[in-house]
A and B are shown apart, each in its own frame.
Chain A
Amino acid sequence: MNDVGTGGAGTPRVAVVVFPGSNCDEDAALASRNVLGADVKMVRHDERALGDPDLVILPGGFSYGDYLRSGAMARFSPVMESVAAFAGQGGAVLGICNGFQILCEAGLLPGAMLRNEGLRFVCKDVFLRVESKRTPFTLAINKGDVLRMPIAHGDGNWTAERRAYEEMLARDQVVFRYVRADGSRGHGANPNGSLDDVAGICNVKGNIVGLMPHPERAAEDLLGNTDGARLFKSFATTRMAMHGA
C-alpha cells in the first residue's frame, strides 16, 4: 500500500468528507470499500489533512442545514481549502447531491442550484444517460448507456448563464442527462427542471464531477440496483490504466 499515490496501483485510498448535516457519508464509504476495495478515511469539515487520497467524495446530505443556499456554508469549511488544492492538482473529486451543490457554490464546478421546478422534494428513481466519457467516473461506461439511480433533493434545479452553458457544451462538460427509461429525452424525464435536462457535469479538465443522483445508493446487489457501481468501477479502471497496472 505504500505505493499508493506515488505511481503504483495498490489499494485505492478514498477520502469522504463529513460536514455537519452530511447523511450519505457512510453510504459513500461503504460503496468505496465494497466496490473499489478502498481504504476509506472519513475527513471532518474542520480538518485539513485528506490523507493522500486517490479520490475525494463530497457526500449527500444537508450540510449546515442548507441554510442560505444549499452548499453555501460548507464552502467555507477548512477542509474545502484542501479539497480545492487537491482538485487543482488534478485529483479526482466526486460530489453527490449536496456534494454537487457544494462544488457549485465553491466555484469548482460551473452553474448554480435553484429550487426544484415543482417546488417539491423529490425522492424516486430516475434514469440517466451517460453523455461524456471524459471523466474517470464514466471513462469505462459507454456514451449513451442508461443508468437507473435514486434521487432525493429539493434544490437540484441546476442552471447556468447561457454563455457559460454554451462554453460547457463546447467543452463536453455535461456528463449525465435525465432521460426516460428508453434513453430518450422529453416529457417526464427531468425531475427538477434543470437546464437542458442536466443531471451531472464536470469541470474543464474533467477530474471534478458533480451529480444530483446517488450512485452510492445503487452500488450493491443488497441495495437492489448496481447501476451506480459502474461509476466506481469506471474510476477503478481509469486508475489502473493511469498507473499502468
Chain B
Amino acid sequence: MTVLVRVMLKAGVLDPQGKAIAEALRRLGYAAVSDVRAGKLFCIEVDTADPKAAREVASQMAEKLLANPVIEDYELHLEEAGTPPGSLR
C-alpha cells in the first residue's frame, strides 16, 4: 500500500522558496499568481493491506522524522487501487 505524506510549512511561517518561485512565475508573465508555498511529498510503500495500519505507521513516521512540528504540518493520503499514482485525491 502506498501512503503519500505531504509536508508543508505552517501557515504564517515565512517561505522564502515559495516567495522566490512566485516571483519567478510572475516574471514569466503569470501575473495572476498571488502566492506560492513550496513543500515536500513523500511516497512511502508500506507492506500492509490494512489502510488503518498504514495510516497509523505513516503518521508516526511523519511526526518522528518527515516533518518538523515547529515549522511544518503534514497530511496523509492513502493510494487506493485505481487511483492514478501520485494523485493526492
Contacts and interface: CB of A to CB of B under 8 A. Distances in A.
Given A68-B65, A72-B65, A115 B17 contact: yes
B20 interface: yes
Max chain A CB contacts within 10 Å: which of B9, B13, B16, B20? Answer: B16
A119 B20 contact: yes
Contacts, number: 38
Contacts of A76: 65
Contacts of A159: 13-14, 70-71
A194 B14 CA distance: 10
Interface in B20-52: 20
A117 B65 contact: no
A91 B45 CA distance: 41
Instruction: Determine the main DSSP class of A at the interface with B.
Output: loop
A164 B70 CA distance: 10
Interface string B45-75: 0000000000000000000011010110000
Nearest to A75: B65
A115 B16 contact: yes
Given A68-B65, A68-B66, A72-B65, A118 B16 contact: yes
A193 B16 contact: yes
6 contacts: A72-B65, A114-B13, A114-B14, A115-B16, A115-B17, A157-B16
Nearest to B14: A114
Nearest to A118: B16
A119 B13 CA distance: 15
B17 A119 contact: yes
